[in-house]
Amino acid sequence: MYLVTMLGNLLIILAVASDSHLHTPMYFFLCNLSLADVGFVSATIPKMIVNIQTHSRVISLAGCLTQMSIFILFGSMDCMLLSVMAYDRFVAICYPLHYPVIMHPRLCCFLVLMSFLISLLDSQVHNWIVLQLTCFKDVKIPNFFCDPSRLLNLACSDIFTSNIIVYFVGAIFGFLPISGIFFSYCKILSSILRVPSLGQKYKAFSTCGSHMAVICLFYGTGLWVYLSSVVSLSPRKDAVASVMYTVVTPMLNPFIYSLRNRDIKRAMGNLLSQTI
């Protein structure tokens, strides 16, 4: 599954880079989303594979904090890029004539850079909260990767305030992209409903179909993992939720975008034919 995820996302990046017809804002953001997925899945799965091969589940505190930082960085990057892509679809559908002017390359690069900086800030804030704790118990983490809620539960000192801060920070950084997505799709839906032709409505919905599927998959599994840290579930259910979020979702994203997009399929076919 890890190899399929890496191969699928790298194929999308290579296909977009090799086809000049795909050098548009939508595919530029898709490339960055694929890069974020590669980093997201690489933050946890290689360590899990090593643990399986060596029959050892030990991880140092420094290794745990590093894994948590990278995991939050690319997870938050995914959220921000999904919001940016929703804005791109909003401009394309609601203001098609102004699209080339609004979504110029400088703005696209700025949006990706801001997504990275906000995600980096989110990652470092969570790291700082965990580093404020003085000691940790020598017990097992009931998961295959480190995350703030699990680390806080291992602390020797009182964690009530730290837990409140973690969930408050998570709510703020989670609210930003979700509100952007919600606003964009409300405007898109309102614009589509005013279109008289059924064919044009279907075409407009089809351009958003892949993106909406990825949003539902990513946020659905993400909320499952997030809520499972609050509500006491069995370790098995918690592990299933985590695997869905960290492994299955990044693996399915390339298939969702390639199977529903003729341009991507054509570019991949051209890339594979050139390679062969």
Distance CA 192, CA 189 (A): 5
Per-residue pLDDT at 117 exceeds 90: yes
Taken as a whole, the chain contains a residue count of: 276
Distance CA 136, CA 150 (A): 11
Distance CA 96, CA 31 (A): 22
- The pLDDT-based confidence of 104 (bands split at 50, 70, 90) is very high
CA–CA–CA angle 152, 153, 156 (5° rounding): 85
Q: Average model confidence (pLDDT) for the chain?
A: 81
pLDDT value at residue 36: 93
pLDDT value at residue 68: 87
Cα separations in angstroms, 242 against 143, 210, 233, 235, 245: 8, 23, 12, 10, 5
Amino acid at 61: L
- The pLDDT-based confidence of 85 (bands split at 50, 70, 90) is very high
pLDDT value at residue 193: 82
Q: What is the pLDDT of residues 194-215, one digit of tens each?
A: 877 777 777 777 777 777 888 8
Cα 47–chain centre separation: 19
Per-residue pLDDT at 35 exceeds 90: yes
For the entire predicted model, the pTM comes to 0.85
pLDDT value at residue 139: 61
Per-residue pLDDT at 84 exceeds 90: yes
Q: Which residue segments constitute the domains of the chain, with CATH numbers given?
A: 2-275 (1.20.1070.10)
Per-residue pLDDT at 229 exceeds 60: no
- The pLDDT-based confidence of 42 (bands split at 50, 70, 90) is very high
